[in-house]
């Protein structure tokens, strides 16, 4: 139980570290995706501890897992993908404008252009 | 239980590979593998709805968008440090 | 300077890691009241067997609307950037999978194999998407997931056929998209006129609960999502975008 | 149609308008499309404030309208509660959005997509102002954010795209932390509605309380990020100064304030959270001072305005935090909250007006450098402006922000500093007021006559001063003057909206008392002295140093970490 959480925590942290530390903007977006994936995994994993059947009612279904985290995570996954799609489009636009994917180089080139 | 840890460990390893790889296309493939593995884990955890969503959205749509972005930029990640 | 930056980054990650850790590692037992409540009442409240669908399109349908809005806005933004990229595109040749008719035969990535397989696979994928969409209330799946599968079906068709069909025409697709957004808003408002409020089930009656409203929302969301993602993917592959 | 569904009208009417616009855009030719745009805007922007005011009597009777979306059981559905704060937020959004939209018709990003996006954003704002559900708050914040990213980048210039990208990365990774906070609270209480969480948190043991505290901090800091209090405000400068003018007006007029007042409800979740009021208030005060000094150092006109947005939001936040600390039930707390709301309101109006008028001026002159640009009014006339309306509007706004009577800024700042009287915050905010005067003297120099001859500028074919531009500016200017004249009534109105028990009755004789006028005079002289200091040699050297300080992308996150660490340390001491 604790091992699973630590693994998820590590996934979350490497995602965040990529956003903060990686200069490549596409890798930053990878990091955002990993953070999102970690939170989704956490919700579903913890929400599944109280039951052993999928949350679809029917005959003989008694101990369903908590459906609320699942419904929330449907929304969160989609929002995450939408945001990263927009971020990628912006990244492509930045690349076309400056010819680089490195955030420091991009900042520098845009400043000198101004 | 051991299955969860195994899949999570794989996801973590792939995540690290995604960030470490110099070739962004490889990273995208690793990311989509992460999505597929998560979908597998969600099925094991009895969350079929989330599994379908993750497979369709995470492994499908977001991979397409990432590939498009890399096609329009550059595939290699040159670190100038 | 470099060392300072590195220090800052380390500090940031350390602090946030420490801040997140207690939340992640807390060992409180997971609450069961909501699950038990849903187990009792989800069927009679919304008519759906799939409790996730009951929450997603019933109890918390407002969140779903918000999510659709995020999708709509982000695709609008992505498309506007895409169109502008297309305008001052220099290296048109380097982009594969082009759908422009005159380029079809020349391109190395568009092989016969892709065309045949994609055009045969497209309708099947479409059918599967519709299935996932329509049976969201009793089985896993629903409008959004079905919509994404429908979108991939449309993209397969767009890849497979050389001739433009109605289904792969981006103008038609974006018309369907905007119409289904209107229908979604109308459906969510419709409850206002039937005494059940915003996002209430307009066809609810105490005697027989049917999942009609959830099916309706599933179809509308499926149409919306399917067409908008298809439009975006086709545009990304260099297809026609006549805005 | 019941009163409950009517109170949700500000959410679904803009959505309906947006849907109409999008449908007409994809089906019909330009003429019908334009017609649909106007129809949709009237439906979505014009109607909600009217409906909201119509609901005001009901609200006075029953305090707040509580409802559950879709009439499900409140324990499981999404709870909404429509109260006085919601009315104020919707009115605030409408007051800025409508003139900014009118302004943008001919000059700004005028596209049916833009109108639709603005409408969607207003729907999200209305939802944020009413929601009592954590996850719904998350979704609405994301909708508001994603619209903001798209709008900032809508000019597609490299700088704007860069600003939008850093804002996107910063804010959406913070929202992942928000999601973790939701996870923590849901795990502890099994509920997502505010009422359920409050009840659940009441019966927890001490170690679980600590977890709840961590979750709360993870919730609060991402919201404060949108408000741009000091360690979290680095994203704002680029985003606000590089966006199209109408969008800048929206961003700093509306989007900064809405999350702040939504945060009031979050902080009311548990007694634990009330400890956050004080540190946030301190941060706000320091923000007000530091940002105004940075503003004094800027050379880019829009950047200067962006720093002023941070500074003014610092004023608002410092009163707001202190109000939460004192407790909203007490008379002093109610006064503080009313003061901060009123200042937020008037700041929205004059800052939007400033962004629009300065934007017009700098566009016409082709120059945004405060040191280089002179004779701006001459340039405007050269471009074909008959009446010097733009300059007039700028001066109305500048006099408002420097808190000179009889404009709205005077009343709001006086009330705000009065409510803070006695604390060290009062002194710092007074210095910040002098800084505001100084930096606006610096900015106003662009209208001084120029000594150099003008080189002719390349004329564009489109008319530079369409009717809509002036209409948008004049509406905002009129609102600035009107809210100044009717300030006592407005404060009374705000007071009754906030609870009614302490309707705040401050007449004109309160504002025009000798001490207040004297203070204004002191501030003015202080500002002039500061300005003289700033243009002097050592002063300008210091300012140049200040301006040369650059922040990189990772500094954004350092600020985020610092904010979280500070809040946690303050709270764990208890």
Three-state SS at C211? coil
* Domain of D489, in residue numbers: 271-451+464-535
DSSP C55: I
**Confidence class for position C163, pLDDT limits 50, 70, 90:** low
Interface test with C, best of D4, D39, D76, D196 (most C CBs within 10 A): D76
C-contacting chains (≥3 CB pairs under 8 Å): A, B, D
Whether A60 maps to a domain, the answer reads: no
A-contacting chains (≥3 CB pairs under 8 Å): B, C, D
Least-confidence region, from A78-92, C103-117, D148-162, D193-207: C103-117
Give the gap in angstroms from C-alpha D214 to the nearest C-alpha of chain C.
Answer: 7
Say whether A9 and C21 touch across the interface (CB within 8 A). Answer: yes
Count of domains forming chain A: 1
Show residues of chain B in contact with C233, CB under 8 Å. Answer: 61, 64
Least-confidence region, from C21-30, C90-99, D520-529: C90-99
Nearest to D551 by CA among D237, D173, D169: D237
pLDDT of residue B18: 92
Three-state SS at C200? coil
Say whether A67 and C51 touch across the interface (CB within 8 A). Answer: yes
Handedness of CA B41, B43, B49, B51 (dihedral sign): positive
Minimal Cα distance from D136: which residue of A? A72
CA distance D187 to B28: 33
3-state secondary structure D130-166: HECEHHHHHHHHHHHHHHHHHHHHHHCCHHHHHHHHH
Structure tokens at D117: 């996006």
Whether D505 maps to a domain, the answer reads: yes
Whether A59 maps to a domain, the answer reads: no
pLDDT of residue C46: 80
CA distance D339 to D349: 15
Among D139, D159, D165, select the one facing A91 at the smallest CB separation. Answer: D165
**Cβ neighbours of residue B76 closer than 8 Å, sequence gap 6 or more:** B22, B23, B24
Structure tokens at D203: 């019966």
Q: Taking 90 as the threshold, does the pLDDT of residue A91 lie above it?
A: yes
Minimal Cα distance from C140: which residue of B? B49
**Confidence class for position C16, pLDDT limits 50, 70, 90:** very high
pLDDT of residue D406: 79
Show residues of chain B in contact with C145, CB under 8 Å. Answer: 49, 52-53, 56-57
3-state secondary structure D169-212: HHHHHHHHHHHHHHHHHHHHHCCCEHHHHHHHHHCCCHHHHHHH
Three-state SS at D462? coil
Nearest to C16 by CA among D235, A25, D563: D563
Nearest to D151 by CA among D138, D168, D172: D168
Say whether C198 and D181 touch across the interface (CB within 8 A). Answer: no
Domain boundaries, chain C: 47-236
Show residues of chain C in contact with A54, CB under 8 Å. Answer: 140
D-contacting chains (≥3 CB pairs under 8 Å): A, C
Structure tokens at D246: 């109408």
Show residues of chain D in contact with C68, CB under 8 Å. Answer: none
Helix (H) or strand (E) segment spanning residue C76: helix C61-87
CA distance C137 to D91: 40
Give the gap in angstroms from C-alpha A85 to the nearest C-alpha of chain B.
Answer: 6
**Cβ neighbours of residue D2 closer than 8 Å, sequence gap 6 or more:** C195, C197
Give the gap in angstroms from C-alpha D319 to the nearest C-alpha of chain C.
Answer: 28
Nearest to D55 by CA among D98, D3, D107: D3
Show residues of chain D in contact with A93, CB under 8 Å. Answer: 153, 156, 158, 161
Q: Phi and psi of B23, rounded to 5°?
A: -95, 115
Half-sphere exposure of D226 (CA within 13 A, CB side): 33
Structure tokens at D88: 């104020």
Say whether A5 and C25 touch across the interface (CB within 8 A). Answer: yes
Q: Taking 80 as the threshold, does the pLDDT of residue C96 lie above it?
A: no
Nearest to C21 by CA among D211, B77, D185: D211
Show residues of chain A in contact with C85, CB under 8 Å. Answer: 92-93, 96
Place of tokens 């996801």: B11
Minimal Cα distance from A74: which residue of C? C56
Show residues of chain A in contact with B34, CB under 8 Å. Answer: 34, 37
Among C52, C56, C236, select the one facing B68 at the smallest CB separation. Answer: C236
**Cβ neighbours of residue D356 closer than 8 Å, sequence gap 6 or more:** D99, D100, D103, D245, D246, D249, D393, D472, D473, D476
Whether D486 maps to a domain, the answer reads: yes
Q: Is C151 on the interface with B (CB under 8 A)?
A: yes
Say whether B62 and A84 touch across the interface (CB within 8 A). Answer: yes
pLDDT of residue D231: 84
For the entire predicted model, the pTM comes to 0.93
Whether D223 maps to a domain, the answer reads: no
C144-148, C166-170, D64-68, range with greatest mean pLDDT: C144-148
pLDDT in tens, chain D (574 residues): 677 778 888 999 999 999 999 999 888 888 888 888 888 889 888 899 999 888 888 887 887 888 888 778 888 888 998 888 888 899 999 999 999 999 888 777 777 889 999 999 999 999 999 999 999 999 999 999 999 999 999 888 888 999 999 999 999 999 999 999 999 999 998 889 998 888 888 888 888 888 888 999 999 999 999 998 888 888 888 888 888 888 999 998 899 899 988 888 888 877 777 788 888 899 999 989 989 888 888 888 888 899 999 999 999 999 998 888 888 778 888 888 888 889 999 999 999 999 998 888 888 777 778 787 777 777 777 777 777 888 888 888 988 888 887 788 888 888 888 888 877 888 888 888 888 988 888 888 888 877 665 555 555 545 567 788 888 888 888 888 888 888 888 888 888 887 666 666 777 777 788 888 888 888 888 888 888 888 888 888 888 887 777 778 888 899 999 999 999 988 888 7
Structure tokens at D528: 């002039």
D116, C182 Cβ separation under 8 angstroms = no
Interface test with A, best of D158, D190, D211 (most A CBs within 10 A): D158
The CATH number for A25's domain is 1.10.287.3510
Structure tokens at D567: 């809040």
Among B5, B57, B77, select the one facing A81 at the smallest CB separation. Answer: B57
**Cβ neighbours of residue D249 closer than 8 Å, sequence gap 6 or more:** D96, D100, D103, D351, D352, D353, D355, D356
Minimal Cα distance from D560: which residue of A? A20
Show residues of chain C in contact with A57, CB under 8 Å. Answer: 39, 42-43, 49-51
Among D139, D161, D180, select the one facing A93 at the smallest CB separation. Answer: D161
Give the gap in angstroms from C-alpha A87 to the nearest C-alpha of chain B.
Answer: 10
pLDDT of residue D1: 62
Q: Taking 90 as the threshold, does the pLDDT of residue A43 lie above it?
A: yes
Helix (H) or strand (E) segment spanning residue D81: strand D79-82
D104, D114 Cβ separation under 8 angstroms = yes
Cα end-to-end distance, chain A, whole Å:
53
Q: Is B65 on the interface with C (CB under 8 A)?
A: yes
D181, D218 Cβ separation under 8 angstroms = yes
C228, C72 Cβ separation under 8 angstroms = yes
Minimal Cα distance from C41: which residue of D? D73
Whether D275 maps to a domain, the answer reads: yes
Structure tokens at B7: 């899949």
CA distance D323 to D320: 5
pLDDT of residue D453: 57
What percent of chain A lies above the pLDDT cut of 90? 58
Q: Is A25 on the interface with D (CB under 8 A)?
A: yes
Cα end-to-end distance, chain B, whole Å:
42
Interface pTM, i.e. ipTM: 0.93
pLDDT of residue C29: 85
Burial D470-498 (b: 16+ CB within 10 A, else e): bebbbbbbebbbebbeebbebbbbbbbbb
* Domain of A83, in residue numbers: 2-53+65-113
CA distance A75 to C70: 10
Angle value at C-alpha A27, between A44 and D232, nearest 5 degrees:
80
Give the gap in angstroms from C-alpha D355 to the nearest C-alpha of chain C.
Answer: 24
Nearest to D280 by CA among D309, D307, D252, D320: D320
CA distance D418 to D520: 12
Q: Would you tell me which residues 41-100 of chain A have a C-beta closer than 8 angstroms to some C-beta of chain D?
A: 42-43, 46, 68-69, 72, 75-76, 79, 82-83, 86-87, 90-91, 93-94, 97-98
Mean pLDDT for the stretch of residues A19-44: 93
**Residue C33 CA to its chain's centroid (Å):** 31
pLDDT of residue A111: 83
Q: Taking 70 as the threshold, does the pLDDT of residue C203 lie above it?
A: no
Beta-bridge mates of residue B76:
B23
Interface test with A, best of C26, C68, C78 (most A CBs within 10 A): C78
Say whether D165 and A25 touch across the interface (CB within 8 A). Answer: yes
Say whether B58 and A11 touch across the interface (CB within 8 A). Answer: no
CA distance D321 to D208: 26
Place of tokens 């697709």: C173
Q: Phi and psi of C164, rounded to 5°?
A: -80, 125
More confident position, D147 or C235 = D147
Helix (H) or strand (E) segment spanning residue B22: none
């Amino acid at each position: 139980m604790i091992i699973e959480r630590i693994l998820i925590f590590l996934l979350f942290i490497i995602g965040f570290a990529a956003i903060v530390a990686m200069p490549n903007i596409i890798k930053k977006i990878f990091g955002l995706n990993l953070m999102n994936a970690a939170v989704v995994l956490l919700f579903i994993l913890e929400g599944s501890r109280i039951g052993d059947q999928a949350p679809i009612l029917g005959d003989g279904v008694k101990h369903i897992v908590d459906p609320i985290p699942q419904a929330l995570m449907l929304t969160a996954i989609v929002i995450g993908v939408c945001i990263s799609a927009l971020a990628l489009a912006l990244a492509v636009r930045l690349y076309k404008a400056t010819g680089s994917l490195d955030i420091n180089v991009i900042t520098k080139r845009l400043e000198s252009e101004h | 239980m051991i299955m969860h840890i195994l899949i999570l460990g794989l996801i973590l390893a792939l995540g690290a590979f995604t960030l470490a790889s110099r070739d962004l296309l490889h990273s995208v493939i690793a990311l989509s593998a992460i999505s597929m593995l998560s979908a597998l884990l969600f099925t094991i955890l009895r969350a079929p709805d989330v599994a379908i969503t993750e497979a369709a959205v995470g492994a499908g749509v977001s991979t397409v968008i990432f590939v498009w972005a890399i096609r329009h930029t550059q595939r290699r990640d040159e670190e100038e440090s | 300077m470099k060392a300072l930056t590195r220090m800052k980054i380390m500090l940031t990650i350390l602090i946030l890691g420490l801040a997140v850790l207690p939340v992640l590692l807390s060992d409180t037992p997971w609450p069961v009241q909501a699950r038990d409540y849903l187990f009792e009442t989800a069927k009679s409240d919304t008519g759906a067997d799939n409790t996730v669908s009951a929450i997603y399109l019933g109890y918390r349908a407002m969140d779903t609307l918000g999510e659709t809005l995020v999708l709509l806005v982000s695709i609008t933004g992505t498309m506007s950037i895409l169109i502008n990229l297309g305008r001052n595109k220099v290296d048109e040749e380097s982009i594969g999978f082009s759908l422009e008719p005159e380029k079809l035969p020349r391109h190395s990535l568009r092989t016969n194999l892709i065309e045949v397989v994609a055009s045969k696979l497209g309708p099947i994928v479409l059918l599967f998407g519709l299935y996932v969409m329509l049976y969201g209330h009793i089985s896993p799946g629903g409008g959004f997931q079905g919509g994404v599968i429908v979108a991939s079906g449309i993209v397969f068709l767009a890849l497979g056929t050389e001739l433009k069909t109605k289904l792969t025409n981006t103008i038609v697709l974006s018309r369907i998209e905007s119409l289904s957004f209107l229908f979604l808003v109308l459906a969510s408002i419709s409850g206002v006129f039937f005494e059940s409020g915003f996002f209430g089930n307009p066809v609810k009656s105490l005697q027989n609960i049917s999942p009609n409203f959830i099916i309706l929302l599933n179809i509308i969301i499926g149409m919306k999502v399917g067409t908008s993602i298809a439009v975006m993917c086709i545009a990304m592959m260099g297809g026609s975008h006549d805005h | 149609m019941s009163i409950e569904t009517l109170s949700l009208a500000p959410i679904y009417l803009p959505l309906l308008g947006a849907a109409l616009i999008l449908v007409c855009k994809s089906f019909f030719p330009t003429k019908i499309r334009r017609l649909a745009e106007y129809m949709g805007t009237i439906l979505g922007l014009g109607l909600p404030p009217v409906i909201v005011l119509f609901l005001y009597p009901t609200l006075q009777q029953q305090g707040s309208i509580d409802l559950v979306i879709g009439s499900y059981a409140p324990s499981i559905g999404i709870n909404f509660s429509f109260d006085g704060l919601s009315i104020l937020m919707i009115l605030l959004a409408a007051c800025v959005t409508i003139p900014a939209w009118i302004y943008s018709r001919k000059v700004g990003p005028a596209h049916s997509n833009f109108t639709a996006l603005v409408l969607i954003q207003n729907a999200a704002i209305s939802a944020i102002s009413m929601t009592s559900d954590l996850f719904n708050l998350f979704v609405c914040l994301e909708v508001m954010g994603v619209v903001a990213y798209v709008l900032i980048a809508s000019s597609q210039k490299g700088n704007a795209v860069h600003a939008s990208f850093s804002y996107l990365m910063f804010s959406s990774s913070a929202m992942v932390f928000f999601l973790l906070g939701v996870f923590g609270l849901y795990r502890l209480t099994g509920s997502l509605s505010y009422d359920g969480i409050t009840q659940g948190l009441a019966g927890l043991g001490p170690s679980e309380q600590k977890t709840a505290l961590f979750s709360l901090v993870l919730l609060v800091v991402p919201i404060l990020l949108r408000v741009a209090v000091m360690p979290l405000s680095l994203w704002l400068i680029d985003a606000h100064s590089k966006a199209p003018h109408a969008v800048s007006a929206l961003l700093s007029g509306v989007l900064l304030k809405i999350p702040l007042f939504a945060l009031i409800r979050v902080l009311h979740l548990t007694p634990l959270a009330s400890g956050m009021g004080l540190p946030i208030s301190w941060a706000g005060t320091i923000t007000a001072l530091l940002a105004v000094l940075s503003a004094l150092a800027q050379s880019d006109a829009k950047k200067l305005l962006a720093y002023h947005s941070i500074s003014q939001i610092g004023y608002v936040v410092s009163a707001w935090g202190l109000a939460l600390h004192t407790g909203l039930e007490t008379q002093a707390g109610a006064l503080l909250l009313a003061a901060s709301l009123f200042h937020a309101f008037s700041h929205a109006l004059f800052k939007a007006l400033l962004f629009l008028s300065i934007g017009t001026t700098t566009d016409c002159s082709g120059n945004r450098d405060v040191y280089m640009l002179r004779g701006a009014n001459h340039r405007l006339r050269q471009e074909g402006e008959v009446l010097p309306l733009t300059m007039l509007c700028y001066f109305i706004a500048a006099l408002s922000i420097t808190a000179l009577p009889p404009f709205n800024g005077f009343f709001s700042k006086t009330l705000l500093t009065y409510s803070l009287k006695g604390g060290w915050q009062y002194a710092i905010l007074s210095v910040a007021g002098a800084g505001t005067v100084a930096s606006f003297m610096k900015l106003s120099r662009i209208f001084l006559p120029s000594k150099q001859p003008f080189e002719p500028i390349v004329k564009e074919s489109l008319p530079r001063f369409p009717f809509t531009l002036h209409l948008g500016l004049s509406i905002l200017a009129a609102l600035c003057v009107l809210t100044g004249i009717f300030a006592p009534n407005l404060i009374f109105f705000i007071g009754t909206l906030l609870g009614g028990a302490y309707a705040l009755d401050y007449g004109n004789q309160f504002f025009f008392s000798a001490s207040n006028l004297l203070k204004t005079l002191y501030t003015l002289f202080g500002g002039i002295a500061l300005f003289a200091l700033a243009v002097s040699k050592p002063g300008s050297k210091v300012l140049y140093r200040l301006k040369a300080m650059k922040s990189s992308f990772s500094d954004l996150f350092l600020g985020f970490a610092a904010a979280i660490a500070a809040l946690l340390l303050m709270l764990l001491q208890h």
